Amino acid sequence: MLIRKAVLGLAVLSLATPATVAQEANTERYTLEKSDSGFVRLDRQTGAVTLCTEDQGTLTCRMAADERAAYDEDLARLEKRVETLERQLADGTAARSGELPSDAEIDRSIGIMERFMRAFFNLVQEFQGAEEQPQQEPIPDRT
């Protein structure tokens, strides 16, 4: 019973932590400040500044000219990269990522998993031994 609770607690902790961190980071990423012509949005992660206007209850944000140029350059670079990869796939010259691991890599992975499992089960046995030992009565205070 104690082991089940410990394993369940570790599982919940490992699942909850990344989501909580990601959620906290997203809420503090952007800040909006009122300006004469609308709002200015600051991306605290990248430092990008975007001008936003409000029209009929809808907030519309547009990139500044220099940000748009950088965006277009990045998009063109990525389009060239995709074209190159598509050409390699068509020619059959693309690197194959679906290759199977070698026997040495498999043996190493199994060895790591085996050591992990042995350590885990030793820990479980320690917990079981602690549960089975009777509680010792405290020594009476003779003062």
- Give pLDDT tens digits for 63-89: 777 777 888 889 999 999 999 999 888
Cα distance between residue 14 and residue 17, in whole Å = 6
Give residue 135's pLDDT. 62
Q: Which tokens in the block code for residue 11?
A: 């599982």
Cα distance between residue 39 and residue 46, in whole Å = 18
Predicted TM-score (pTM) of this structure: 0.32
66 vs 106: which has the higher pLDDT:
106
Cα distance between residue 106 and residue 98, in whole Å = 15
- Give pLDDT tens digits for 119-134: 999 999 988 887 666 6
- Is residue 116 scored above 90 in pLDDT? yes
